[in-house]
Amino acid sequence: MKNNTSPVQDLVHKIETLVYSVNDIEGYEKKLLREILNKQGWEELRDVSISVAECHVIDCIERNGLINTTAISQKLAITKGGISKITAKLIKKNMIEVKRLENNQKETYYELTPLGKKIFQIHDILHKQVTEKFAAIFRVYSSEELNFASKFVGDLISGFTTPLPQDKR
């Protein structure tokens, strides 16, 4: 039986499958998180509820020292409103705390609490595992193939982050 799909249709289908898989990644990361908690013996964190976006904000705060909402927003490409919501949740969960500089009491900065530092460590372990998994997948490809893949993914990102031209009727 002959397959009637074009290479473009096949590629679009594979990209859709990838997107659906990425949308389900939070469940996969939660499973990995549980495994890390068990290995590290951090039983007290077993019931901690945290989203991937919250983990990324914690990571950004730890890697950048005292940082404000605007800087986090720029580094993570998330709106300032989105960062404000995430940081409010993290404050309630006692993972970050608000700091103000002596010479500027108006500006709000964030710093990790001891619990936030543990979450950062777990997130760092998780990132290393994911990086190793990608590296294992990519090892079978040549430099030329990886360069093409990088350009292709970059083009996809640009294509989906650039607004469509408005219809001028």
Residue-wise DSSP of 34-95: HHHHHHHT-GGGTT----HHHHHHHHHHHHHSSB-HHHHHHHHT--HHHHHHHHHHHHHTTS
Give the pTM: 0.70
Q: Which of 32-46, 94-108, 127-141, 153-167 has the lowest mean pLDDT?
A: 32-46
Most confident among 18-22, 84-88, 130-134 (mean pLDDT): 84-88
Q: For residue 155, is it within any domain?
A: no
Mark residue 77 as left, alpha or beta (left: phi above 0; alpha: psi -120 to 50; beta: remaining): left
Domain holding 25, by residue range, is: 7-150
Q: For residue 89, is it within any domain?
A: yes
Q: CATH code at 119? A: 1.10.10.10
Number of domains in the chain: 1
Q: What is the pLDDT of residue 1?
A: 46
pLDDT tens profile 115-146: 999 989 988 888 888 889 889 999 999 999 99
Q: For residues 53 and 84, is the Cβ–Cβ distance under 8 A?
A: no
